[in-house]
């Protein structure tokens, strides 16, 4: 399995060193490592949405997860930042390192396909409400044929939300769970979820309370320790290990050689 | 040659009916026509650049051509609009029509590769000046291997600037001349340059003065009639016919079935 595919998800929060991610990805790629990158763009989307006078709104769901309210205008801003600015930034960084990267959103070639949520439940002022205008959904089907076509021809795929519904509508989707689906459906050796923390912390935000290892059959028990966006990473990890991915690592994307370090076991390893 | 490849460039000016372009492209694609789309995004880039407080600046070059001054911030806005908003809009429209489109910028897979202009001459207040910070260049090499890989697997490529320099830098490039290079290097049967005018007009903007046909060996003589952005389309047409493309049509993208109409000879035909 040492030459299996590695799926690397790089978050979109503040502090992430994309140049370091690209340098490390290029070094591994040139050693013959097969990689697929998946990235976010949340913090930059918030900034651009504010600047364009359409500030972000987040919905709080029963169970404690939150998500971006995605009306059509938000979706267009989301596409500008994720598929335009962030995706092309990462592709350009890889090209400068001599790697022939190809950036795709989930709607290109239906790379991330799934069911749109027709009704989204959320809590406002303590009351349960429902919205039907939210353009969101979850990835069920990854176009592994297209990814294998590109990998086989020597291209490094760089993937980003949005996803596409079975009816052909663009929709916001969570990048961590999309990356988990890529890892499962591509039968990846490992899934690395890199963000602006060193891993899962027992006492967030105390970085010295890092949880070094989680047994694969106990991932959901550790949900209590997950704060904010880390909740979706833990859910993604649970999906991935259930789906047969050998290991999942929550690693730090603020450091030099972030992919190599996570592969070597730095961060929180789920296996 | 009836089953040859058709390269369709859809401009980025006001008034273009992208839904009609997608419907027509889908109908032709389902009849077995091989297509590559190339698109612009100039008007929307101007709007977003204004909204983000970084208004567009155009340089006037010796000879009468103009181009967008592209500093790094402008390039990022350009990528957001061309590769994010416009590209994903067109891909989604095609997906809704049941065509598995794949959107790529010129930096993805080095689809549009060329030389960056290290120094750009322009005229300001009647004086010839030079700028060296402009991130622009022209497409010399099209990655036909990647385009054929996608076409062969049943994907319709939807291409957009920016291009990439030989050194791996993203750079603004003219979409019409990029489309002409795609047509030449893919040995296309025809290149359709669709915009918000019915074709080349003898007395711009009088639409009744449409020039119906231009002999291939006299394209440059007709440069006198080209106004504004049409100048680059005429130059693109000259490149394409010199490069062996059977015919070039300047057609109208504001009408129903714009691709079929241009293929049937509506507009200005260069052959």
In a domain, residue A158? The reply is yes
In a domain, residue B132? The reply is no
Q: Mean pLDDT, to the nearest integer, of B212-221?
A: 90
Give the Cα separation of A17 and B105 in Å (integer). 23
Per-residue pLDDT reduced to its tens digit, B77-86: 999 999 999 9
pLDDT at A70: 96
A101–B contact, CB cutoff 8 A: yes
Count CB atoms within 10 A of the CB of residue B265.
14
Tell me which residue of A248, A243, A246, A239 sits closest to A270, measured CA to CA: A248
Cβ separation of B48 and A80 shorter than 8 Å?
Answer: yes
Give the Cα separation of A245 and A185 in Å (integer). 9
In a domain, residue B164? The reply is yes
A236–B contact, CB cutoff 8 A: no
Cβ separation of A92 and B98 shorter than 8 Å?
Answer: no
- The total number of structural domains in chain A stands at 1
In a domain, residue B260? The reply is yes
ipTM for the predicted complex: 0.96
Q: What band does A231 get if pLDDT is binned at 50, 70 and 90?
A: confident
Task: Measure CB to CB from residue A164 to each of B85, B95, B153 and give the nearest one.
Answer: B95
Ramachandran sector of residue A136 (left: φ over 0; alpha: ψ -120 to 50; beta: rest): beta
Q: Measured between CA atoms, how close is A135 to chain B, in angstroms?
A: 13
In a domain, residue B235? The reply is yes
Q: Measured between CA atoms, how close is B48 to chain A, in angstroms?
A: 8
In a domain, residue B62? The reply is no
Tell me which residue of B225, B216, B227, B221 sits closest to B249, measured CA to CA: B216
Q: Mean pLDDT, to the nearest integer, of B51-56?
A: 96
Enumerate the residues of chain A whose CB falls inside 8 A of the CB of residue B76. Answer: 85, 89
In a domain, residue B122? The reply is no
Domain of B48: which CATH number?
3.40.1160.10
pLDDT at B1: 37
Q: Is it the case that residue A3 has pLDDT exceeding 90?
A: no
Could you write out the DSSP letters of every residue in B44-97? Answer: HHHHHHHHTT----EEEPTTS-EEE---HHHHHHHHIIIIIIIHHHHHHHHHHT
pLDDT at A228: 79
In a domain, residue B254? The reply is yes
Q: Report phi then psi at A5, rounded to 5.
A: -75, 140
B154–A contact, CB cutoff 8 A: no
CB B158 within 8 A of CB B37: yes
- For chains A and B, count residue pairs whose Cβ atoms are closer than 8 Å: 126
Cβ separation of A76 and B98 shorter than 8 Å?
Answer: no
Its domain, for residue A39, covers 6-43+79-112+141-270
């Amino acid at each position: 399995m040492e030459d299996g595919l590695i799926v690397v998800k790089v978050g979109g929060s503040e502090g992430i060193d994309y140049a370091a991610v690209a340098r490390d990805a290029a070094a591994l790629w040139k050693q013959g490592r097969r990689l697929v990158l998946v990235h976010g763009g949340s913090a930059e989307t918030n900034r651009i949405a504010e600047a364009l006078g359409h500030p972000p709104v987040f919905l709080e769901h029963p169970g404690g997860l939150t998500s971006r309210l995605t009306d059509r205008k938000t979706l267009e801003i989301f596409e500008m930042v994720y598929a335009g600015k962030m995706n092309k930034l990462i592709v350009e960084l890889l090209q400068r390192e001599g790697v022939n990267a190809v950036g795709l959103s989930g709607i290109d070639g239906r790379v991330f396909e799934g069911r749109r949520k027709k009704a989204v439940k959320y809590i406002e002022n303590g009351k349960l409400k429902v919205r039907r205008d939210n353009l969101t959904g979850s990835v069920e089907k990854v176009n592994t044929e297209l990814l294998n076509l590109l990998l086989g021809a020597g291209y490094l795929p760089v993937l980003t939300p949005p996803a596409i519904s079975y009816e052909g509508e663009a929709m916001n989707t969570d990048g961590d769970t999309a990356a988990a689906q890529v890892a499962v459906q591509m039968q990846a050796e490992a899934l690395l979820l890199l963000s602006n923390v060193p891993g899962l912390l027992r006492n967030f935000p105390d970085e010295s309370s890092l949880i070094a290892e989680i047994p694969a059959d106990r991932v959901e028990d550790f949900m209590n320790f997950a704060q904010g966006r880390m909740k979706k990473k833990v859910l993604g990890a649970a999906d991935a290990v259930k789906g047969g991915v050998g290991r999942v690592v929550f690693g730090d994307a603020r450091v030099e050689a972030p992919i190599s370090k996570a592969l070597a076991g730095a961060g929180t390893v789920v296996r």
